[in-house]
Chains A and B, each alone.
With several copies, the nearest count.
Chain A
């Protein structure tokens, strides 16, 4: 029951799973070991894999642990697996953000916040499993309510919903961005709707 044995077991278990493995699940399997020992074995592994020359990192996502390839290697990995990168349209991202922050939320509420019909986007997000139906709201008409899924956390590499920036932080960022834009951009050359989303602006803000 040495530490290195436990670390080896944890490494095997996380490696072999095709979804993030939670600490609870590890404890359930490694019943001979104590929770705290398991937790520190995970932490030690994370440290080891954090070295910059490694091609794999141990990430904490969706309330579990998962090995993932290092970001800088993405281009080569794409050459190997030849998948089409999934991308999100502005409307999908907006809707997803609203659902992430305001869940459980009805379609009518989403549409009030966005100011546009959102049925199509909601359906697509359901199909992509980024959101799910949580049930029905206890108000007249009993509308469906939506929330984000575990897949949402996995795809956006989020540990949990709490690790999203708070709305207050976002407000500050947004105010900053707005000021910058007004300074940077002369009237003649207006940013088209979305262009304040430009990476350059964002970096300047940091």
Chain B
């Protein structure tokens, strides 16, 4: 209907607005392709790539003419379509087994994606048709008045990971300025490596120094790991041992949960060496 109106109006401003609204409706290139397939009454398993590609490119052209920003995904899909189209032009070999033939169809991957996408689009529609709590249905989302005096034992805790990190982000946003330097990319990766080493040490009592570098040859990673080890040594949280000169470095936890004696001043000092 929108298109119909567009064609009947010369007023370019209106033209612009109407198309703008319409183009916004496509969630992405897959959505646009599904629309074109339906519009042309094509069999999704046997799409005419030349029709679809032609219309798809027309759409992109139109979007550009209307000065709409064309998201990168639309362009990527355009090149995929052109690629498929040119592959279709290559002579195909007839195979005896139809199954293998299907695999060779240059459209196969795209068809699979379109089918998959249309399924989730349908699933989204079914979700939107459900009765929603807070829209059609209502529950009591407050503590009953007779319970307000009961004191809660707060044993189990309920919180999501996302809330934790959002809390941290909020803190950093309002924390004193100087602390911002510490939060630069580099120091984050040191903190990350400290966490990783600590959690490795929770799993096993001993790690070899070389194991810490197994995952990456990235320079920053190695530097961050090394600084993390130094930091942990300085904090006396790990012990680094060597059996022989130039032998393997072994890393062990220095403290095993000294929760009981936090206040003793001179006592627990020699936990690490």
Contact = CB atoms under 8 A, between A and B. Distances in A.
- A is bound by B: yes
Interface of A: 12, 15-16, 18, 59, 61, 66-69, 71, 74, 77-78, 81-88, 90-91, 93-94, 96-98, 100-104, 112-117, 126-130, 132-138, 142, 144-145, 147, 149-150, 154-158, 160-162, 164-168, 170-171, 173-174, 177-178, 180-182, 184, 187-194, 196-199, 201-202, 204-205
13 contacts: A59-B137, A85-B134, A90-B124, A127-B162, A133-B160, A149-B160, A156-B132, A157-B132, A161-B198, A167-B165, A174-B119, A194-B125, A202-B125
Contacts of B18: 201, 204-205
Nearest to B40: A187
Given A15-B140, A171-B119, A193-B125, A103 B195 contact: yes
A182 B203 contact: no
B191 A101 contact: yes
A157 B159 CA distance: 11
B237 A132 contact: no
B120 A112 contact: no
Given A113-B179, A145-B235, A166-B188, 17 more contacts: A68-B145, A77-B147, A83-B134, A97-B127, A97-B167, A101-B120, A115-B31, A117-B73, A135-B258, A156-B127, A157-B132, A161-B195, A162-B192, A164-B123, A174-B119, A191-B38, A192-B128
B123 A101 contact: yes
Interface of B: 1-5, 17-18, 21-22, 24-32, 35, 38-39, 41, 44, 69, 71, 73, 77, 113, 115-147, 150, 152-172, 174-176, 179, 183, 185, 188, 191-192, 194-196, 198-200, 202-203, 232, 234-237, 254-255, 257-259, 262, 265, 268-269, 271-272
B146 A68 contact: yes
A107 to B, nearest CB: 11
A87 B134 CA distance: 10
A115 B41 CA distance: 22
B142 A97 contact: no
Instruction: Find the residue from B115, B154, B192, B268 having the highest chain A CB count within 10 A.
Output: B154
B22 A68 contact: no
A74 to B, nearest CB: 4
Contacts of B140: 15-16, 18, 67
A155 B134 contact: yes
B21 A98 contact: no
A66 B143 CA distance: 13
B122 A82 contact: no
B220 to A, nearest CB: 13
B28 A168 contact: no
Contacts of A171: 115, 119, 122
Given A82-B152, A100-B168, A137-B235, A15 B144 contact: yes
Contacts of B113: 112-113, 115
B165 A165 contact: yes
